[in-house]
Structures are given as structure tokens and as C-alpha cells.
Structure 1
Amino acid sequence: MRIALYVHCFFPAHFYGTEAYALTLAKELIALGEEPVVITATLAGEPAQKRLIEERVYDGVRVISIDKNLFPNRSVRDTYEQPSLRNLHERLLRKIQPNVVHVCHLISHTTALLDVARAMGIPVFATLTDFFGFCYNNRLENAQGELCAGPDEARANCIACFLQLVGARPDAKPLTRLGADRRLRPFVAKGLARLGRREENPFSISGFEPNDIVVRPDILRRAMGVYCEAIAPTLFLKRAYEANAFPAPMHISHFGVEIDRSPKPARARGDSVRLGFIGQLFPHKGAHLLLDSLRASGRQNLSLQIWGPDDQDPAYYATLRQKAEGLPVRFQGTLPRQELAGALAGLDYLVIPSTWYENSPLVLLQALATHTPVIISDVLGMTEFVQDGRNGFHFSRGDVASLTAVLHKVADDPELAARLSAATSYDRAPADMAKDVLAMYRAHALGGVDAAEATAAPIETEGADQSGSNPAQLGVEGPLDSWLAYNEGALHIDSAEASHIAPFPPLALMTATSGLSRTEDFTRHGVDIMRALAAASPAPLASYRAWLDFGVGAGRVARLFKGYRGVYVGVDVDPHMVEWVRGNLPWVKALQTAPRQPLPFADQRFDAVVSISVFTHMNDEDHRFYLNELWRVTRPGAILMLTVHGDRAIQRASAESNILDLLCIPADALQGAGKALAEGDGFHFTRQSGHLTSSLYDYGVTFVNRRWIDAVWTKWFDIETIVPGAIHDFQDIVVARRR
């Protein structure tokens, strides 16, 4: 399965939490036989790429990078909704042809990516690593430095954060600085929020349109509605998104880390208590608090090493150096990944003094995995991993005195580090994380597509010139007529050629599905159906990228989709049918469903549905229930081709006794159906006494006409056409388009 992993920036220039997650996930997916590709960006202001799109391999992972220098943010809205990126995203996705888009961070790609993926019908998932989806500054920290719950109703608190940010810039104009003044900022923010409600001819001041911030949460929420499901690495993050009306299902999957988990080396008696800070050197990461607390502690047996780049915030870095003067502190620069385990092995405690809500930072998990106790600020997103006094300590966020008290505790009992280390561990590995991701895809009937078949070339369909290719190699992705003719002919040629077609179900399943007992007849039955579907479909069958076979049976249609490079999901209530399809047609994701229960898929999952001989056997209630379900799981504009018994079926059953015998209903029931279609509401159901009759649900024979379809189906679908007798001059095909 080809998986497009989107991340805002990436190695080697960027190497922190989200980037490390994307790299680790990609490598584990490769190890599990999948085909990930990372799509990232060179950020605006960084050295430009030679080309708009560049491709490379990093640590065995295919990476595609776009140059955001050519798409700079010209407004606040561009930071989250940048329509100029749409063509670029579509170009990339058509080149990559992924089965799945997985967003690790949206910020460089904006809602433009989600809009394009939705339009192309590509399933989209996400891993939520910060608060970008609803918080303007991504940190859930308000302009007063206090923790925040998210945007208020007027968005005034978000505008206050914007004022604080722009007011602190060195080139800020006097008016901007005035508006950002701590005393005036709340009043200015409320005024701008009121003015920002105007969407037509939006209010603007100094190039800033407050409407850009007012509408931000709603625009992101609508765009994120395309997510089939999302992963949250902490319970806190999940609850924060839920509290801010996240539009998709979420589940928790803790990050996995790969690091040397050897026991921590024994510390020499009399050594100093060794503290460490590893991370980005920005104010919200809190390194200044650690330095202030170290000085306030007055303990001579404490030492500190700080790893982090000196060029992220030069002014802040200079402040840190000044605070460290005269203290036992070493600035070690950026810590290479390959040296991380060794660095942690040499620490007694890692300190994470962040002033914002962290989300299980990888360095926290890596420290726990190396049996290194952790001292953390008491912010949610970290406290669920560290038990105070067992594998580390908590202190009050932003409180120098509280952190100083913890430093006193660890300095005054140097052997405490060894006792805590013995109780400190973290066992979750990257492979566990990747398996969770694949399980999430499988829950939405994705996964298992043969990467060798899913090439990166543009999709070729029946209209393309592939006359020189072997139909057995291309399958349904090649010229359809050739493929279907090959299936018919393969029954009468040597076994080597015949081996290229899909296997046949055992006799019992074949008969239960179709009433047929010979493979030749079963093949022709399926081929005839495929030809009828192709003739009725508005587009080539292989051009749809996510099919639902509703009532897959023993694969009468599904087996002829061999070679399909999209997603093909088959559902059925019969466990024996599902078991056989699952074990013999690997391009089909076969799932058993329960009668009269919702289908096990997220909303707007499929762009095409086929259902043969299913609605021909449902009562009125089930008819409506499953039409509603098919509407739910299909995307707007999706095509559905469903067969029904109409006037042609009644004509043939009335004239041909063998057809009536096949239906297993009495002659008077057929007469009643004819009357219902001619004079009644156009619907007639007779419970059947045949080979598929079940006590679990009403299984019978159903007849409908165009009048009833127009009255009922159009609640959910537009009726494109009805092809009378399309299936073996008996069943009609209703071609419907999802509204």
C-alpha cells in the first residue's frame, strides 16, 4: 500500500518531534512491506531549492519536498488555507497515486491538501501532534502566558495572541506595538474581533484582516471533516480536540521509540547529580526556568547539560548563556540522534520545564525507555506518563520555586536517582505504533494492496492504448474487453494461462451465490455482469478508486477486479462467503456485516458501489435502511450501480416457468407484484422459501418500478438512468449518483 505521509518540515534540516515521528513511522511501514513516501517542505525563508519539487532518499525513505519560498504567506489566512497550493498538491498526488494520505502536520500544506484529497477521493487520516487544528499559536497558551482551552466564541483571545506575536517583532510599527501593549491588548482584541465578523469587504488595518482569525477554526474544522480517523498520542490531546468539535473519530495510540534500553550504568559515589535538557531553545520550552532554579537551589552537587541549537532564537539563546554564567552548565549544541542513548545514559534526570501543553514529547518517552527519571512541569500531555515520586517528579508550571524544591530533593538524596531509575521504563516500540496505524487503515477497509501492482505511473484505464500488453498482467486495469475475453478463453486453454485468472469458489458457495454449478457458467455470469456494469457506468470501472461491493457473495464480480490498484471492499452477511473471499481474492478487503446494522465504515468512504442481487431480496424497511447507509458511506458525487427486479423480470417470470421456479415464489405472488407495479405504489415483497431463506432477516423477492425509485431513492440519490434487463435480460441496473 502506498502511503503519502505529509509533514510540515523534515530531516536533515528539521529533526524534532513530529519530523522524528514521520521518519520513524515511514521506516516501520517499509519494514512491514508498505510503501510510504514523505511529502514535506522547505520553509519560506530557508535556502531555496533548485526546483519547485525535489525528490531525495533520507535514511532509506523516499522524500518529496516542495519549496515554500515560492508560496510565501501573504496573510494570516495563508497559514492555514492557501488555495494557490491546490494545483501543486493535485500534481503531486497524481504522480504518487497513494492509497492513503496520512497527515502528520498540516501547517505547510494547509487545507488545500485536504480539499484536493477529498476531490480526488483519496482516504485521509491524521496523527495530531499539536493544537494547530484549532489554536492560532499551536500551543494552547494565551497572550498572558496562561494555559488556554481554545478559541473563545468571538475569537478575541486568538486575536490577542496575534497582537502579542506581531507586537514583539523588531520591525513592528509604533501603532502595532501600542495595540500589543499588555494593558491595551484585551480591549484592542475585542474590538478587532467584532470588526472581524464582517466577511464581505472585510475590515483591514495595516494589512491585517481580523476575519482571517475569526473564521480560522471553522474553516479548519470543515476541511478536517475529510479525515476518516485520527490518532491522538495522549488522552489530553484527544480531549482537547473533542472539546473543540473535532469532526472525525479519534483514538489514542502512544508513540513508540527505538533506543538502547540497556540498564543505566551505575553512578559513581560522590559524583554530582547530572541534569539534562534536550530540545528546542524557545521560551515556551522553559530552559530559562531550569537555569533560574539551578541558581536558586544553591546546591553545589548539581550539574546541567543543555542540548539544543543556538540559531533558532538567537536573542533567547543569548539570555540563556547570560543566566548560565557562573553555574556548572555546559551548552552542547544539537544532539545527533545516534548519540541520544549515550547522552541519556550519562544523566541522572532529564528535565522538561515546558510552559505549554506538551504532547508526549519523544524525548520524554526516550528518557523513560532508557530508565532515566524525568522532572516535568505539571502540564497535561506529560503527566500521564510520569508518576510523581515513582519515575520522576512534577513541579508547578512556570514556577521557579516549585522546580527549585524538586532540585533540592534530588540533590540532597543523590541515590534517589538510582531508585527511581529501577522503576522507570517505556516498552512501546515504533513497530507497535506502525501496527496501530495499519490497523486503523484496516478498520476502514484499507491495506494489503500489492505495492508491485500499485506503480507510481498515472492510472491507465480502458480508454488508454495498452493493446500490446498482456491482459493477464494488467487485469481490470487494462482494456476491459480484453480482460473479460481472456477470462472466458482461459477456461479452454492450457493450465498455465488459466492460472492467471482468479480462483473459483467451491461448488457449495458458487451455487448459493448464483444457482450455478459449473465454473464455465460462473465465469460467463460474472463476465456478463461486468460488461453490463461497464456499459451503464458513466466512467471506466477502474477509474473509481474506492469500490464497495455490497453483497460480495463468493466474488462473482470481485474476482474479475483482479489487478485493481485502488481499494475494493466487499461485505456480506454470510461468514462462509466472506471467509472464502478473504482467503482467495487478496485484492478484496472482505468484511462480514450483521443484518440491519450500520456498515462498519466512516462517512464518505467510497466513490463507487456495486450491488448485484441484494436489493432484489429486501423488504421495504431494509431497502430504506441500506439506501441511507450507502448514502452515508459514499462521497458526494459517488456512483452506485444497484440491481433490482422490475417490469422486465415480471415479464420473463410470467412467460417462463423455469424463471418462476428460480424465484421460488408462487404464481399468485408474481401476479400481485405485477399489480403493485402497474397500479399500486410500485413496490412488492414476497418472503421466499428458497436456498437463501434465513431466520435472521426477511429474505424474499422484491419488485420495484421507476415510480417507487423516484419516490424513495431520490431522498439520497439522483437517478442517472435505469437500464431495463441489463443483467441477463432479467435484472435492471439502477445507476444513481450520491447527492
Structure 2
Amino acid sequence: MKILHLAHQYPPEFTGGTEFYTQQLCQQLRLLGHETAVFYRRPGQGLAERVDPDGTRVWGAGAGPMTPLRRFRATFGQKSLLADWQGALAAYQPDLIHVQHLMGLPAELLAASSVPYLITFHDYWWVCANAQLLTNYDQTICAGPDHFINCGRCALARGGAGALQLGAPLMAPLLARRNRTLATILQNAAARIAPTEFVRGRYQALGVTAPIELIRHGIDYPRDLPAARRQPGPLQLVYLGSIAPQKGLHVAIAAVNELPPDAVRFTLYGGLTDFPDYVAELRRLARHPGIEFAGRLTRQQVWERLPQADAALLPTQWFEASPLTIDEMFVAGLPVIGSHIGALPDKIVPEVDGLLVAPADVAAWVAALRRLLDEPELLPRLRAGIRPVRHIDDHVQEIVALYEKVLAGGQ
């Protein structure tokens, strides 16, 4: 099969979870003998074409600065992106289009294509312009569109006009039009994929009536990962992922601040330049001498560093769809202390392979971390409860089966 993946972003410019998943899926599909290509929106101007080392053909379409406003407006059309897309389609002639994300890209890319397409839900962008069901004006879980007035409030805050909240009703028709446009794209897809029951349930609760397939993610990890090399000494806690406000790291740092100085080390692995204001805020907040901002890790370093830790923290504040970092931690033998929110309860079994804590409750996080110090049997018990992690090979088998079903005419 010839599969063209459509994404909002892709390496090397972008290295988030959706981008990493798309890249890994392409690599695994090629190992099975399929042809793969990617079309994404890149920074700058003009169309750049390349072939990656894994053999994937990549088109990066530049259409100017990617500000929040330009991303939003692009949904309703952008001639240069449409022309670049049509050129890529003509050159590649795919059998199937797999939509990983459409943010910042025109909806008409799919409306104008006769090639069957399917969509994976990596977040909630198809029903929420903010993508996370997290408000821009106070960083809390959205209570719902409220006739798209809440959507208008979010849009104004995202555009730097948060003080103009009385203008939210004027924005509502535009946000409603956006969702109607995307609802048509969703309805016409040959298949829709959710990685967890939580994500499927959220989309259904927000009005998506078309069937949604459940295909759980898998990750590519070493089959022969060395045994954990934990050393005697302070409790070693780690975080791996984006250093971004919605990840709730201010809560974890505030909790670690309350622990004895010599008892704990907390290392944060993640990019320090994507949200510089937030990183600066975290550095000011960090009073504990054991807190370290260690920057990004390569894939090899992930498997070298994680087994040296005792437990992982995931204090997220939003409805995470299916955080792959939990799987990585489990592969490394680390119990996960995570927020009781979103899809985390789908992946963490409390008191079995981790703990679930109220998302923004610093006192609850302090209590959970103190348990790791005060109950010597807790960490060994949680480590013993970690179940085998689904490998990406198993995930790809299900994806390929769905591709074949779509091409055979089944939906």
C-alpha cells in the first residue's frame, strides 16, 4: 500500500507526541513493505521536498508564520497550501490518506480529495479549537461550548485579547462554522481512530455520532533493555515530556519543595525553549536543591537514563489522550504517579503500577510523594505490578488491518 500521512507538524522542526508517533508509524509500515509519505506544514515559505533516511517521502509546505490566528484561519482555506497539497497528491498518488492532525491546514485538503482517508484523534482539536478542552483564559477544564460562547472566550484569550470577554458572543458564529466544517470532514472519513476509551467517550459526548475505532497505541522499545541500575541514596524522581503549562509541573515542583532536601532528586527531561516564560516561572518556584532541569533526551538516552530512576511523575492538568511517556516509564520499570484526569486512569492502575492524584492539589501530591519515602514496601510492590507494555508492532498490525478494510470498501 501507498499511505500518505497528513500532519500539522513533523520532525525535525517539531518533536511532540503526534509527530513522534507519525514518524514511528511510517518507519514500521516501511519495514512491512508499504510505501509511506508525509505532508505537513512547516515554518517559512515554499514547498520543501525530501526523502528521510527511513525512505519516507516528505513534503513540508511553508505558508508564513504559524501564529495562533493564522493556524485558525487556515482551516477555512489557504490557496498556497491547497496547491502544494494537490501537487503532492499528483506526484505520490496514494492509495490511502491517514490524517494525524489538520491544525493549521485547510479542511478543503480532504474535501477536494477522492482518495479515502481515515483520522486518528491525538487530542480534541476536531471539536475544540484549543485542542485540549482546556480554557485559555484560566487554564481550567472547559465546561462545554455553551452555544460556542466559551469557544469565543478561548479564542479571544488565545489571540491576546482576553480583556475583551464581552466580545465572545460575536466570535461564536465563527467558531460554530469551524466545527460544522470539521464535522463534515469527520463524517466523510472512512474510519476514525481513538487511542483510549476516554478519548472515544469525549468525542461521542461532544456530538460525534459516526463510529470510532479503538486502537491502543504501542511504542518501539528495546526488547533487551538492561535491568534497572538503581543505586542506594535519595529517591530519584523523573519527568519526561514537554515543559509546558498544561503539564502541571508547577504542581509537582511545589510538592517536591515540601520534601526533605537530602531525601529526593527530581530531574525534568524536556525542551527548555518552547515555553521560556513557563520555564522561568518553574525555575523561580524550584526551591528544593534536588530539582534539576536536564533538557531533552535522545531516544538512546531515554533508555539509558530512565532505568536509573525510582518513579516518574506526570502531573498533567488536561485531558491527555494517550501519553506515550507512561508506556516508556513502564518499560523502564518505573511506577507512575499521575494526575487523576483524562486517559491516565485508562493506563495507570492505582496501587498496582502507580498512584493517581488530584491534578492541581499540591497537598495531595505532597502526601503521595511522602508515601514513597515513608512506605519502604510501596515502590517494590508498584514495580512488581507493572504489566507488559504493548509494542508498536502490535499496534501497526491493527492499523494495517484497518487500512485493508477501508481499501476493501468496508467502513
Normalised-by-shorter TM-score class: over 0.9
What is the rounded CA distance, in whole Å, between the counterparts of 2:31 and 2:228 in structure 1? 32
TM-score, normalised to structure 1, is 0.53
- How much does 1:237 deviate? 0.5
Cα distance, 1:122 vs structure 2? 0.5
Give the letter for the 1:365 counterpart.
Answer: D
CA contact (8 A) 2:3 2:35 kept: yes
What is the rounded CA distance, in whole Å, between the counterparts of 1:223 and 1:360 in structure 2? 23
Native 8 Å contact 1:89 1:112 kept in 2 = no
Are 2:58 and 1:63 equivalent residues in the alignment? yes
What's the counterpart of residue 25 of structure 1? 25
- AA partner of residue 66 (structure 1): A
Give the Cα separation in 1 of the matches to 2:87 and 2:227. Answer: 50
Alpha-carbon distance in structure 1 between the residues aligned to 2:292 and 2:14: 23
Letter in 2 for 1:148: C
If you compute each CA radius of gyration, which structure gives the higher value, 1 or 2? 1
Partner SS for 2:58: strand
Please say if residues 372 and 378 of structure 2, whose CA atoms lie closer than 8 Å, have aligned partners that are also in contact: yes
Task: Identify if the C-alpha distance between structure 1 residues 76 and 361 changes in structure 2 by more than 3 Å, giving closer, same or farther.
Answer: closer
Aligned-pair Cα RMSD in Å: 2.2
Matches within 5 A, 1:630-709: none
Correspondences of 1:329-728 after superposition (within 5 Å) = 329-446=291-408, 601-602=410-411
Residue of structure 1 aligned with 2:140, choices 135, 146, 151: 146
Equivalent in the alignment of 1:53: 48
What is the aligned partner in structure 2 of residue 12 from structure 1? 12
1:11–1:58 contact (8 Å) kept in structure 2: no
Of 117, 122, 144 in structure 2, the residue corresponding to residue 129 of structure 1 is: 122
What's the secondary structure of 2:352's corresponding residue? coil
Q: Which runs of 5+ in 2 are unaligned?
A: none
1:512 matched residue in structure 2: none
1:243 matches 2:217: no
Query: Please, which of 231, 238, 241 is the counterpart of residue 268 of structure 1?
Result: 231
Q: CA deviation at 1:213?
A: 1.8
Once residues 74 and 136 of structure 1 are traced to their aligned partners in structure 2, the CA distance between those partners, rounded to angstroms, is 11
User: What CA deviation, in whole Å up to 9, does each residue of 1:324-371 have, x standing for no partner?
Assistant: 244211111111122111121111111111100101111111111222
Q: Look up the equivalent residue of 1:64 and give its one-letter code.
A: W
Aligned partner of residue 350 in structure 2, secondary structure? coil
TM-superposition CA deviations, 1:480-527 (whole Å, max 9, x none): xxxxxxxxxxxxxxxxxxxxxxxxxxxxxxxxxxxxxxxxxxxxxxxx
CA distance in 1, matches of 2:10, 2:289: 35
* 8 Å Cα contact 2:119-2:189 kept in structure 1: yes
- The one-letter amino acid paired with 2:29 is L
> Who is 2:41 aligned against?
41
Alignment partners' CA distance in 1, 2:209 and 2:404: 20
CA contact (8 A) 1:273 1:414 kept: no
Aligned to 1:315, what secondary structure does the other structure show? Answer: helix
Q: TM-score, normalised by structure 2?
A: 0.93
Structure 1 residue 243 displacement after superposition: 1.6
2:246·2:317 contact (CA, 8 Å) conserved in 1?
yes
Instruction: Output the CA distance in 2 between the equivalents of 1:319 and 1:425.
Output: 36
Kept in 2, the 8 Å contact 1:263–1:371? The answer is no
Structure with more relative contact order (C-alpha pairs < 8 Å, separation 6 or more): 2
Query: What is the letter of the counterpart of residue 157 of structure 1?
Result: N
Shift of 1:70: 7.5
Secondary structure of the 1:237 match is: helix
For each residue in 1:258-282, what CA deviation from the matched residue of structure 2 results, as whole angstroms up to 9, or x when unmatched? 113536425334x111100111111
C-alpha distance after superposition, 1:206-254 (max 9, x if no partner): xxxx532232211110122221101100101011111222253211111
**Alignment match, 1:200:** none
**Residue 178 of structure 1: aligned partner:** 163
- Name the CA shift for 1:213/1:341 in 2 (closer, same or farther; >3 Å): same
- 1:76-225 matches, within 5 Å, as 77-84=72-79, 85-117=81-113, 121-142=114-135, 143-148=137-142, 150-152=144-146, 154-167=147-160, 176=161, 178-179=163-164, 185=165, 188=166, 192-193=168-169, 195-196=170-171, 210-225=172-187
Give the superposition deviation at 1:60.
4.0
Partners in 1 of 2:67 and 2:247 — Cα distance? 27
Q: CA deviation at 1:41?
A: 2.2
Q: CA deviation at 1:385?
A: 0.8
Q: Aligned to 1:384, what secondary structure does the other structure show?
A: helix
Gaps of 5+ in 1: 168-175, 180-184, 197-209, 447-568, 570-600, 603-739
The alignment partner of 2:52 has SS state of strand
Partner Cα separation in structure 2 for residue 72 and residue 279 of structure 1 = 23
Contact 2:354 2:382 in 1 (8 A): yes
Amino acid of the residue matched to residue 67 of structure 1? G
Q: Deviations over 1:642-697 (max 9, x none)?
A: xxxxxxxxxxxxxxxxxxxxxxxxxxxxxxxxxxxxxxxxxxxxxxxxxxxxxxxx
Amino acid at match of 1:129: H
CA contact (8 A) 2:261 2:289 kept: no
Task: Measure the CA separation in 2 of the matches of 1:22 and 1:427.
Answer: 19
Give the SS at the match of 1:277.
strand
**Aligned residue for 1:296?**
258
Residue in structure 2 matched with residue 707 of structure 1 by the alignment = none
Q: Deviations over 1:429-481 (max 9, x none)?
A: 111111111111222244xxxxxxxxxxxxxxxxxxxxxxxxxxxxxxxxxxx
Asked if structure 1 preserves the Cα contact closer than 8 Å seen for 2:196 and 2:322, the reply is yes
Q: Is the 8 A contact 1:56 1:62 kept in 2?
A: yes
Measure, in 2, the Cα distance between the counterparts of 1:338 and 1:108: 32
Aligned to 1:667: none
Q: Shift in Å at residue 413 of structure 1?
A: 2.8
| Percent of residue pairs identical | 27
Cα distance in 1 for partners of 2:239, 2:66 equals: 35
Q: How many residues align?
A: 408
What CA deviation, in whole Å up to 9, does each residue of 1:626-657 have, x standing for no partner? xxxxxxxxxxxxxxxxxxxxxxxxxxxxxxxx
Question: Which amino acid in 2 is paired with 1:178?
Answer: A
Report if the CA contact (8 A) 1:128-1:231 is conserved.
Answer: yes
Aligned partners of 1:444, 1:74: CA distance in 2, in Å? 35
Q: Aligned equivalents of 1:105 and 1:298: distance in 2? A: 44
| Residue number in structure 1 paired with 2:190 | 228
CA distance, structure 2, for counterparts of residue 291 and residue 298 of structure 1: 13
Deviates more, 1:57-66 or 1:277-286: 57-66
Return the alpha-carbon distance in structure 2 between the equivalents of residues 73 and 27 of structure 1: 31
